A = this chain, B = another copy of it.
């Protein structure tokens, strides 16, 4: 049963084969570990390909969603970095690209001349409102392959996994709690 994975995914298959040579390794845990990574990989790549068809990627989508949900219409770039889970330096480059693409705009803060306020543009809003329903539709078309109880069970186990890792690395950069239901 597990060997189905072996032929299809050289990357994870080779890691699994390698781990089986490590004495004391529990193959079921190893298999789980690699499958979590592989599934995340598969889903993330798929989503990336989907978003790329609309000129987006995960990072840009998150920035758009965050800005769209901003109560006062804008965020500091440092605030965006924190919420999007990237460094401040990274958000600078990301915003550069998105500004060039016309999706966001930066305006100097009138009260603090060090800061600038970032807001979503009309173009960015239009794109977001086009892509979001498509993304929902796409993901639901795929994940409806799992039954409702299966989905519920999977979420439960994923939460437990997240908690296990959070407990093991309590000093990680981000608090990293489970997504609330």
Contact = CB atoms under 8 A, between A and B. Distances in A.
A146 B132 contact: no
Contacts of A5: 159, 177, 179-180
A32 B144 CA distance: 11
**Copy number of this protein in the oligomer?**
2
A17 interface: yes
A22 B145 CA distance: 21
Interface stretch (A44-52, A89-97, A101-109, A110-118): A44-52
A99 interface: no
A181 interface: yes
A173 to B, nearest CB: 8
Q: Interface residue tally of chain A, by bracket? A: 35 or more
* 3 closest A-B pairs by CB: A40-B40, A10-B83, A2-B180
11 contacts: A7-B176, A9-B175, A18-B65, A28-B148, A28-B155, A34-B179, A38-B162, A40-B43, A141-B168, A142-B165, A153-B153
Interface of A: 1-2, 4-19, 22-26, 28-47, 49, 61-62, 65-66, 68-69, 82-85, 132-133, 136-137, 139-146, 148, 150-155, 157-169, 172, 175-181
